Amino acid sequence: MKLGVFSVSLSVKDLSRSKEFYENLGFSVFGGAMEKNYLIMKNEDTLIGLFQGMFEGNIMTFNPGWDSSAQNLESFDDVRQIHEHLVENGVAMMKALDAEPSGPASIMFQDPDGNVIMIDQHR
């Protein structure tokens, strides 16, 4: 199964402070905006999302169809295929799949230890 690029979405209390902290680790802003309360930061092929006030806890995120530079991949497994496979294998969804037959969509579920995983397809 091709899940696409991986990142960790972190729920942060102070976006400016977190931005400065991760910049000191060698990350730079890659996307998002301070005024929208989120930043995507990158260090080589490693991505982290910093989200202030958007959700509780941290989320492991996969983006089908994208590489680590948010460039479209030629071949990827659509989130609907991934959803079907997971449901067939007994994975309970936290967020239902959108009814659209193609295009952007996302699903959320938990691993056996309660860690939240989101498959978030943007195209």
Is the four-CA dihedral 80, 86, 89, 90 of positive or negative sign?
negative
Whole-angstrom distance, CA of residue 76 vs CA of residue 49: 22
Pick the CATH number of 5-121 from 3.40.50.150, 3.10.180.10, 2.40.10.500, 3.30.70.120: 3.10.180.10
pLDDT of residue 79: 95
Give me the residue spans of the domains in the chain: 5-121
Instruction: List the pLDDT tens digit at each of the 123 positions of the chain.
Output: 889 899 999 999 999 999 999 999 999 999 999 999 999 999 999 999 999 999 999 999 999 998 888 888 889 999 999 999 999 999 999 987 877 888 899 999 999 889 999 999 988
Contacts of 37 (CB under 8 A, 6+ apart): 15, 51, 52, 53, 54
In terms of DSSP H, where are the helices of the chain? 15-24, 79-88
pLDDT of residue 70: 83
Residue 3 in tokens:
């899940």
